Amino acid sequence: YGVSYHPALMISFSTKRSLRYLVERLYEINKELPQRIETEVAILYPHVIERLRSKHLRVTIAVTKDGKVIKDKQF
């Protein structure tokens, strides 16, 4: 169809193991897909932090609204 696409991965809630598995699966689908991956991280705006706390979620990596990198934090 000639449509450009890139798989986007929200890595803030993923383990290294699950990311590796996903990359392997993408490779099985199309060998070019792993090179086209775009990673995204959660930005911790106040309303996002409140939602994470309400669900007791942990982020493996995220960024504060001021640009500070946060790793492995439970909310």
- Phi-psi category of residue 49: left, alpha or beta, with phi > 0 → left and psi -120 to 50 → alpha: alpha
Mean pLDDT score across all residues of the chain: 95
SS3 at position 64:
strand
Pairing of strands 58-64, 42-44: parallel
pLDDT(73) > 90:
yes
Single pTM value for the model:
0.77
**Residue 23, token pair as written in the block:** 């990359």
